[in-house]
Amino acid sequence: MKLVILTGMSGAGKSTALKMMEDIGFYCVDNLPIPLIEKFVELSETSKEELQKFAIGVDIRSGNSFSELHAALDRLDESGQAPEILFLDAEDAVLVKRYKETRRNHPLSGGKRVESGLALERERLTMLRRRADYIIDTSRLLTRDLRAELDKIFVRQQDYKNLFITILSFGFKYGIPVDSDLVFDVRFLPNPYYVEGLRAKSGNDKEIQDYVLQFEEAHIFLNKLEDMVNFLIPNYIIEGKNQLVISIGCTGGKHRSVTLANELFHRISKSSDYGLQIEHRDIDKDALRK
């Protein structure tokens, strides 16, 4: 029997994840009272049903009994039915925005600001997060990205590294992305913007790619950047980092940064087991107007 405890911050996407796990063959139960978890496992073991995979959604809605969860997990470990723990997290700013969009109150806010409820929830979940087998930060994930991460863990059973990488191109004229962890400036390369016939195209077009990548400096930059990223990622994982945003910028975020962000994405995706996505924040902002 495979048992997964799905938990994490309120607003991080636990309900969505539970539905996805149901789609991939798990029998799912949400908000099961803590005192009933061990009884549920016992009944599942003796059931004549052919179900082999179970996911239990647990969070701070359990109230005072939530403090009993660690003891229950310890007893399950000792009995040989050690569950895997999947923890969904997100940045506070993202969680606040989600709460405001849905016009809901945080379960622990007690009529105060959402931020106060989140702070209390983080404090109560600290030990459970440390105990988690898998941590997924949903701050920048689309629904399809979350589904892909769950598929990687529970369907393909790949060695999961608890890190999701976003490669982001941007234009300095529109500001550096505030959530960047690493920022690289590629304005040292010749700008296709000033080449006849290339201005209206983007780094997603072959003509721009051929122009930017004809320069030896572009390849030297990519080689050094790839080498540094491959060095940093394992060390970030050791330190517990689970979200990495690598931002590559040029003047307008349309030509050079897009080309090199695409190239870095392709290089990393060939040899990486980490979650990976690419975004081009400013690619359409310099569109020519007739």
pLDDT in tens, 61-85: 776 667 788 888 889 888 888 889 9
Say whether both 109 and 202 belong to one domain.
Answer: no
- Phi then psi for residue 123, to 5 deg, are -60, -45
Residue 288 lies in a domain: no
Q: Domain of residue 136: give its range.
A: 2-154
Say whether both 146 and 61 belong to one domain.
Answer: yes
Structure confidence at residue 240 (pLDDT): 73
Say whether both 84 and 190 belong to one domain.
Answer: no
Say whether both 200 and 150 belong to one domain.
Answer: no
Say whether both 125 and 175 belong to one domain.
Answer: no
For 34-67, b/e burial (b = at least 16 CB within 10 A) is: beebbeebeebeeeeeeeebbbbbbbbebeeebe
| Residue finishing a domain among 107, 130, 154 | 154
| Residue finishing a domain among 98, 132, 154 | 154
Say whether both 47 and 102 belong to one domain.
Answer: yes
CA nearest 264: which of 245, 282, 283, 281?
245
Say whether both 23 and 93 belong to one domain.
Answer: yes
Residue 269 lies in a domain: yes
Say whether both 145 and 170 belong to one domain.
Answer: no
Q: Tens digit of pLDDT per residue, the chain (290 long)?
A: 788 999 999 899 999 999 999 998 899 999 888 888 888 888 877 765 666 789 999 888 776 667 788 888 889 888 888 889 999 999 888 998 888 887 777 878 777 788 888 898 898 888 888 899 899 999 888 888 899 889 888 887 666 666 889 999 999 999 999 889 999 999 999 999 999 999 999 999 999 999 999 999 999 999 999 999 999 988 887 777 878 999 999 999 999 999 999 999 999 988 766 778 899 999 998 764 33
Query: In total, how many domains does the chain have?
Result: 2
Residue 286 lies in a domain: no
CA nearest 53: which of 14, 12, 10, 20?
20
Structure confidence at residue 290 (pLDDT): 37
Say whether both 130 and 40 belong to one domain.
Answer: yes
- Let me know: does 45 contact 1? Beta carbons within 8 Å: yes
Say whether both 137 and 213 belong to one domain.
Answer: no
Separation of alpha carbons 226 and 269, rounded Å = 11
Structure confidence at residue 256 (pLDDT): 97
